[in-house]
Amino acid sequence: MGRPLIIGIAGGSASGKTTIAQHIKEKFSDETSVLIIRQDDYYKDQSDKPMEERIRTNYDHPFAFDEDLLITQLKTLIAGQSIRKPVYDFVQHTRSETTQICHPADVIVIEGLFVLEDEQLRSLLDIKVFVDTDADIRFIRRLIRDVKERGRTLDSVVNQYVNTVRVMHQSFIEPSKRYADIIIPEGGQNTVAVDLLTTKISSIIHHQVL
């Protein structure tokens, strides 16, 4: 297997990054191997901190992530070797004790808030995607997700959004849009844009095979 095709998908919280990554995986599942890596799993370990301190962490700042580990493991996959990827526990606000073994794949999709913000990570990407969804839609999606799936209260989600999410989005995530090769408005709901993206991926894959 040659060098994998590396696709980076960035965008605001609950913009639809995961949905687009899943569309790519489903599209090519019959003809090639696709690995999806969530940047969220590379939040720094906080097991040495009390819960009160973990809750106060600004999870919407680039410093909350172990970017060095993500880049190192991505390079390992590119070199054709398997990795043991961390898994983040959003209820406990720290890394889970379990890890996930990930094997090299023909297509590797990295999705997360700051995938386009870090220069070292950007340099490894073949296709850079930014999912551009209106703030009110992202907030509603985040509210539903965090309450249902991550054990948050309504008040905690609202406070986090007002105090950190919105500010960090404007400071770090929105500016990274200028690095994108493709901008997809409205996330996975934009079937035309997703189809164009998968067509481009298909052309690259088939060219590599030839």
**pLDDT digits 0-9 by tens, 93-102:** 999 999 999 9
Q: Are 133 and 187 in contact (CB under 8 A)?
A: yes
**pLDDT digits 0-9 by tens, 101-155:** 999 999 999 999 999 999 999 999 999 999 999 999 999 998 999 898 888 899 9
Which pLDDT score is estimated for 30? 82
**pLDDT digits 0-9 by tens, 146-201:** 898 888 899 998 998 989 999 999 999 999 999 999 999 987 789 999 999 999 89
- The domains of the chain are located at 5-196
CATH fold for the domain made of 5-196: Rossmann fold (3.40.50)
Q: Residue 194 — φ and ψ, nearest 5°?
A: -65, -40
Round the average pLDDT of the chain to a whole number and report it. 92
